[in-house]
Amino acid sequence: MLPLFLACLSFLGRAAERPNILFILTDDQGYGDVSAHGNPILKTPNLDKLRGESVRFTDFQVSPTCAPTRSALLTGRHEFKNGVTHTILERERMALGAATLTEQLQKAGYRTGIFGKWHLGDEAEYQPNKRGFDEVFIHGAGGIGQSYPGSCGDVPGNSYYGPTILHNGKFVKTSGYCTDEFFAQATRWIEGEAAAKRPFYAYIATNAPHGPYHARPEDAALYEGKGLGKNTENFFGMLHNIDQNVGKILAKLEALGIAKDTLVVFMNDNGGTAGVKVFNAGMRAAKGSPYMGGIRAISFWRLPGRFQPMDVKALAAHVDFAPTILELTGASATATMKSQLEGRSLLPLLQAKVGENIAWPDRTLFTHVGRWGNMLKGVDPEVGKYAQTSVRTVRWHLVSSAPIPQPGQKAGGKKGKNPKNTPAAVSAPQSSADIKPAQANWQLFDLSVDYGETTDVAAQHPEVVADLIAKHDTWWKECRPLMVNENVAGPAENPFKVMYREQMGK
């Protein structure tokens, strides 16, 4: 009996050291959409306070659009290897063979909850309750009220005000503003888990400030009369509302006595949108681009008493999130999870002392906007191989500025011949043999002196360009067999709509 008793004590000791996790992910907020980052108009006092109490990764890379980033965060590997190459057309569905962070946390005794945006598949087998979440409070599709042919669509006629939400398999009609509802439900759930003294992983994924830009009138009014235009007024108003909710939930952690035992991570999912014209932190481009303005993200990590607030300049990325949480919590990973992890644990950087020099070897990261064919199926991914893609190291950023070919176009963006009687949705793409690296319009930037990507130095460093193109080609070959959602048949009707009609009779 003594060995069993000691083993139990050991487990309880480890459990006591395992932090709760509150992960807040916003939708289409940019790195520059925080007042502490230099925004001259937007005010975010609660995010500024959180930033001041956090380890801040100043060179943190995500994907150019939303569903891809979300899959990388959950799996620890590049989105293309999860089958996510778009945000619609079944290409938003995270491959069923992918292991998830939340599945590992469940096995380790964590309770897991998602509140807000899922966007990794609306069909039953792709839903979060089948991917490691105990508590599910979500809208459908990529945004409230959005609907596209096939698998990606929300409840018909859904609104930011009083949205209908899927709560643990049942649709419920809420009464408040969407962001308020997500934070309120997460808070209620956290209170229950704290009372039961169970470690938790709470994932609040707001649909705000993604368009359409519908802020509460009182929030948008804060930015009227500043010459911003209605969209940016509402965009900033939506961010003000997020900031207020962040302040409230952090205060609740304090009131519950669990703030010191809770890791808080705040992040955005891709580059900025309606706010970049006001302030973009000196970066080039925005969401949907492989330049830094499309892929640099906010990344605040607060764990009082264990993480010392400081800036960390090391190159980090979304694929590092899962391995970091696994190491921090001591959760064991399945063989599948271990085999797919491409990221690094950030724990050595998070636990460092201010001024301590932590070894962080150079690395190569890949970005691709995807979206070949845009709204159409039947398009060979090879036509987009060298379009809107980039290869990143600490110093260098090789970027293809070539537009993504659409059916009937060649890779360089010029119209090609479209065979007669070929429907637009399945127009014959160029063959892979027609796609050449030179058509990518490669640009090379030295980020050590030009983070704003203003000066192309490809001609001065042809050996760097050649090396990074070779790495890109190797990576692409690894991805291609795992792009499992290309041109698959989707359902005849959005699954959320069908389930809503069956439940609600509408």
User: What would the two tokens of residue 169 be?
Assistant: 């398999």
3-state secondary structure of 122: coil
Q: What predicted TM-score, i.e. pTM, was given to this entire model?
A: 0.93
Give 173-177's long-range contacts (Cβ < 8 A, gap of 24+).
177/216, 177/241
Asked, for residue 198, whether it belongs to a domain, the answer is yes
CA gap 444, 410 in Å, rounded: 23
Q: For residue 356, is it within any domain?
A: no
Q: What pLDDT is stored for residue 118 in this prediction?
A: 98
Judge if 308 and 442 occupy the same domain: no
Residue type, 143: G
Judge if 323 and 389 occupy the same domain: no
Same domain (yes/no): 337, 394: no
Is the omega angle on the peptide bond into residue 209 within 30 degrees of 0, that is, cis? yes
For residue 431, the model assigns a pLDDT of: 41
Distance between first and last Cα of the chain: 60
Structure tokens at 327: 């190491």
Q: What is the CATH number of the domain that holds 112?
A: 3.40.720.10
- Please tell me the least confidently modeled range out of 347-356, 375-384, 400-409: 400-409
User: How far are the Cα atoms of 91, 98, 150, 485, 486 from residue 489, in angstroms, in the given order?
Assistant: 11, 20, 8, 9, 9
Res 505: pLDDT: 85
Q: Determine the pLDDT at residue 506.
A: 76
> Is residue 503 in a domain?
no
Owner of token pair 């987009």: 384
Q: CB count, 10 Å around CB of 502?
A: 10
Same domain, yes or no: 294 and 264: yes
- For residue 199, give the amino acid letter: P
pLDDT, the chain, mean: 92
Q: Is 70 exceeded by the pLDDT of residue 381?
A: yes
Structure tokens at 304: 């009082």
Same domain, 339 and 385: no
Q: Which run of H or of E encompasses 403?
A: none
DSSP string for 242-269: HHHHHHHHHHHHHHTT-GGGEEEEEEES
Task: Indicate the pLDDT class of residue 374, thresholds 50, 70 and 90.
Answer: confident
Q: How many Å apart are CA 295 and CA 388, to the nearest integer?
A: 12
Integer Cα distance of 411 and 403 in angstroms? 8
Q: Tokens 């048949």 map to which residue? A: 489
Question: 270 and 393 share a domain?
Answer: no
Total domain count, the chain = 2
- Tell whether 1 is covered by a domain: no
Q: Could you report the per-residue pLDDT of 176-202, keeping only the tens digit for each?
A: 999 999 999 999 999 999 999 999 999
**CATH number of the domain where residue 412 is located:** 3.30.1120.10
Helices first, then strands: H and E counts in the chain: 13, 17
Contact assessment for residue 318 and residue 61, using Cβ atoms and an 8 Å cutoff: yes
Contact 314, 59 (CB under 8 A): yes
Per cent of the chain over pLDDT 90 is 86
Residue 282 included in any domain:
yes
Query: Mean pLDDT over residues 397-419, rounded?
Result: 64
Q: Is residue 498 part of a domain?
A: no
Indicate whether 328 and 374 sit together in one domain.
no
Of 3-12, 192-201, 255-264, 366-375, the range with the lowest mean pLDDT is 3-12
- CA dist 477 and 80 (Å) reads 11
Q: Output the pLDDT for position 68.
A: 98
**Tens-digit pLDDT profile for residues 227-276:** 999 999 999 999 999 999 999 999 999 999 999 999 999 999 999 999 99
Instruction: Kindly state whether residue 80 falls inside one of the protein's structural domains.
Output: yes
The predicted pLDDT at position 407 comes to 63
Please state, in angstroms and as integers, the Cα–Cα distance from residue 270 to each residue in 28, 61, 62, 291, 454, following that order: 6, 9, 6, 11, 21
Note whether 146 and 61 are same-domain residues.
Answer: yes
Which of 350, 377, 410 is the last residue in one of the domains? 350
- Residues facing residue 415 across a β-bridge: 409
Omega into 40 within 30° of 0, i.e. cis?
A: no
Segments forming the whole domain that contains residue 130: 18-350
> Encoding tokens for residue 321?
């999130």
Q: Clarify whether residues 303 and 200 are in a common domain.
A: yes
Cα gap 97→53, rounded to integer Å:
38
**Each residue's pLDDT tens digit, 76-92:** 999 999 999 999 999 99
Domain boundary among 294, 324, 350: 350
Per-residue confidence (pLDDT) for residue 462, from 0 to 100: 97
- Would you say residue 153 lies in a domain? yes
Pair (331, 382) in one structural domain:
no
User: From the centroid of its chain, how far is CA 81?
Assistant: 15
Tell which of 293, 325, 350 closes a domain.
350
Write down the pLDDT at residue 17.
Answer: 80
Residues 291 and 400 both lie in one domain: no
- Type and span of the H or E element at 291: none
Quick check: 5 pLDDT over 50?
no
Which amino acid does the sequence have at 428? Answer: A
Q: Is the pLDDT of residue 21 over 70?
A: yes
**pLDDT of 105:** 98
Please give the pLDDT value at position 343: 98
**413 and 288 housed in the same domain:** no
DSSP 438: G
Per the CB < 8 A criterion, the answer to whether 482 and 95 are in contact is yes
Confidence at residue 436, expressed as pLDDT on a 0 to 100 scale: 63
Mean pLDDT of 464-480: 98
